[in-house]
Chains A and B, each alone.
Chain A
Amino acid sequence: MSEQAHHPSDRTYLKVGSLLFILTAIEIALYFVEDALESEWSLYALIASLIILSSMKFVLVVMYYMHLKWDDRMFTWFFLAGMFVAAAIILAMMALYRYY
């Protein structure tokens, strides 16, 4: 469905804004429990949680504020292609520099 055909309401935008605020607050709260973590596994769990929360915020902004939820699918594929190459660069170069 094209974006012109479907404009999200202000109420939807405000709901998404509130969710973004809540997710950021949880991220910050998690950061402050870091000092209490002793085992390596709890540190990994913290990092995984931060990445999941960050991804949720990312998806909310892209889907609702950038209108990919309603816009032409081609834009989604364009953006995903860029994201995929960016992620591949990050992972490949990290592996290259850290292990060789």
Chain B
Amino acid sequence: MTSGNCCKSALKLYSFSLRRQIAITLLVTGFLLLLCPGILLREYIQSDYHRYALGSELALWTMIIFTATLILGVILLCYNHAHLFSRKTADLYYALPIKRDSLLAVRFGAAFTGAAFAATTAFLGLGIFALLPGLESGGFWAMLQCWLLCLMLLLLCMSTLLLFLVNSGSIFHFLFSSAVVCVGIPVLFVIGWESYEAAAVGVVAESEWLKYVSPFGYSYLTIGENLDRVNVIGLRGSTVAISLGCSVLFLALSFVMHHNRRTERSGSAFSASIVPYLITVIAAAVGGYVIAIMFSWNTEDMDFWLFLIHGALLVAIASGAIASKGFRKLWRWLICGGVAVVVMLGLMLGFEALGEKDSRYIPPKDEIQSITIEGTYNTPEVTFTEDFDLILAFHALKVANIRGEHSQYTELCVEHDLDTSVMIGDITMQYATTEILNPDVTFTYTLKNGREITRSYWSNSLEELLLIFRIGCTDTYAQSWAFTEYPEGYAQYYYNDKDKNVHDSNTLTPEECTLLMDTFGAELQKADPKEILTTDYVTLELENGKLWQQLCVPRSFTETLTLAEELLD
């Protein structure tokens, strides 16, 4: 048989496979057409929705189409590769005059074609919708890019699944192992990151890594990210490279593993004998952690680890039973469970150590592009592109105070049994006598190499308080309060005296607002800590329509209060 004849046979089998799966393909396609353009058309017809901005919803529709077609792809993959798991079907397919690699390629191709057909039809439906008059369609190119992205990600996910398919002993094991790896690894990653955050007190660091540990996570995050901006920047080259590159890699791996696969005996079909053990370790690690979290929230308690060990062993036995289709050679799976416990311990300790180290890291000044500082309670953020020294000093102070070093201010709080808050500028300072629950100052460093480092801390010292205020007096900060957008600010003045509730308000000029703040700042810097900690204060609010700021002014700050009364009079 010549290679031409081989190709001809493969094509004939491909066309036959397409025919066999046409019913389910059309069913899913019909369902998708109900959604788009069906639902959109209904909205268009039934309402005055003539300015429907489809462009802004392309991400959502792409995600819906991608999800539905991915489900179809999984069904078709299972349907088309039944010969990998059933001896009866293997007799039918492997006796055919076609090479095994061609058979795998043809069956995968047919499954992908079915899913791609459904996706393409759905996008064509969206295209028809876009032709309706009076609609903001999002543009032909935007839609074309969405379609291409959907197909590329579909190929990526389906080639990943093919890799699991050729490495599984049954359909159930295929579903189990792909879920364990594609969901379990991100979960392990998140668990590690949580340990990192817990160890690095007051540190929050986000990572892009999570996006890259699972093709499915990558797909959904990419659709979300890309399509929010699809009209602006279009389909990114990196997305195309990653999707197609990884697809080719996974397909090549699938073929290599399929070549080594033993289909003859159920239960030992794995191309690499380590595969079921590896999957069992991951499943036991994730399962053990989930069970431990369900029964014991605190990871520092002994019972958490007892539950984790118990859970890991149970999940390992279950996973082993799925892989070996029975409860044989239990000791092997129990060892996997034991390895999973060690992995979890190592993972959590490793990430804790990393977190502790990173909690003390302050980026070098010459690497910093900008720093954004932000307080909690919806206070606005301010970005500094200069004046880094004060912020770095503040950060250094925070790092020094990370580990329970009680400052003079905290001691005063404890001594006087005070639980109060002081607001300076737009940064809220939370103090409590017992426990500080939430971080209230967040630094986001944007480095010159594009990397972002985010750190959040709570404030617990007077030194920090004053530093924050001094930061608030910088030009950048002042500019954020320059009342440029609205020519005038609006001030309100309250007494919190129980007997005398005074409420006064007035419209101030930007200069008056700034003067009021400066006066308050000057008094604050001179003040004794005990004076600041008083609960006997007057609340002063400043607002300009864009920013809102509340100052808690102690009654002893006579200059500020006098000025406020004058301005509000």
Asked whether A and B interact, the reply is: no
Chain B residues at the A interface, C-beta cutoff of 8 Å: none
